[in-house]
Amino acid sequence: MISMFSDLLDMAGEQSTPQRLLFLFASVDELKKTKKRDDKKGSISPTMVVDKLPQELTNFESLRKEADDINKDWDFVFIASLGGENNLAPTSDHAEPFLTKMTNDVATGQHINRYVVFDREENPIELCAN
């Protein structure tokens, strides 16, 4: 499991093909509030999506600030990577159907284990669908 956003940026830069990072910001509605960390239950709703080249990002704090400038209503960010071809990174147009898939996955709770997830404080989050 990737434990820091900088690990993710490093890994994207080490890939054999140029990457485009896909971000889905989501809000959480907790159904069962408990103090026990691994016993929380609720629903997750997509809030916004964006794609970026790894070199457009410096750290998690700048990503959070940029997201908050658009919409502060998010608790988690789901992240995926899309590889390019012929030594070219995918364009935003290429990323669009994958962002739509991410939105559908998060909205339905399907395949969410394929994404790297961080909370607002850059803590890695492990989610499971029920």
DSSP line for 12-49: HHHSSS-EEEEEEEEEEEEEE--S-GGG-EEEEEEEEE
Distances (CA, A) of 3 to 9, 35, 85, 114, 116: 12, 23, 28, 15, 9
Give the C-alpha separation, 105 to 92, whole Å. Answer: 19
pLDDT at residue 101 in the model: 97
In tens digits, the chain (130 residues) has pLDDT values of: 577 999 989 999 899 999 999 999 999 887 655 555 556 677 899 999 999 999 999 999 999 999 999 999 999 999 999 999 999 999 999 999 999 999 999 999 888 989 999 999 999 998 766 5
Give the C-alpha separation, 77 to 24, whole Å. Answer: 6
Residue 102's H or E segment, with its range, is helix 92-108
